Amino acid sequence: MADFSSDFNLEDALGGLLKIANSDDVAIKMVNAGLEVMYDKISAGAKKHKVTGAMAKSVYIKKAYVNKNGDVVGRVRFSGSSGSYKNKQTGKRFDITNWIKAFRIEYGTSNQKAKPFVRPAIQSSRAGIKKAMDAVFDREVKK
């Protein structure tokens, strides 16, 4: 029978991939890097629809986290309110939240034509998001 020995080390061969393979920390850093790119594009789009400036200023990043399913998720969101208005028919006052304003601009209303800015921002930032996430991954692997 032949005698076989090897100095092969799987961890060295994979260049540190095993070290980070099960790390949520790296995935969170990667998603956060992608969120920064998406935030820049969505903010730029929101600034084009400036009346009071409240909606454009309300764009923020909800940092990445691991949800109950084990997925790493993060969001670029609209927060706050642009004030309120009084319904002419009922007299009731309604709060105008910035995410509703963004939704109405994005998809339109019966009185307003759609002027999408979120979906085009997402589409145009895909390559930048991938590049940012790849850079974080490469940096973490080399540690």
In the prediction, which pLDDT does 25 show?
A: 86
Local confidence band at 29 (pLDDT 50, 70, 90 cut-offs): very high
In a domain, 125, yes or no: yes
In a domain, 32, yes or no: yes
In a domain, 7, yes or no: no
DSSP characters over 4-17: ------HHHHTTTH
Tens digit of each residue's pLDDT (9 = 90 or more) over 32-90:
999 999 999 999 999 988 777 788 889 999 999 999 998 999 999 999 887 777 878 88
Looking at the structure of the chain, the number of domains it has is 1
Tell me the whole-structure pTM to 2 decimals: 0.75
In the prediction, which pLDDT does 107 show?
A: 95
In a domain, 1, yes or no: no
In the prediction, which pLDDT does 7 show?
A: 56
In a domain, 86, yes or no: yes
In a domain, 130, yes or no: yes
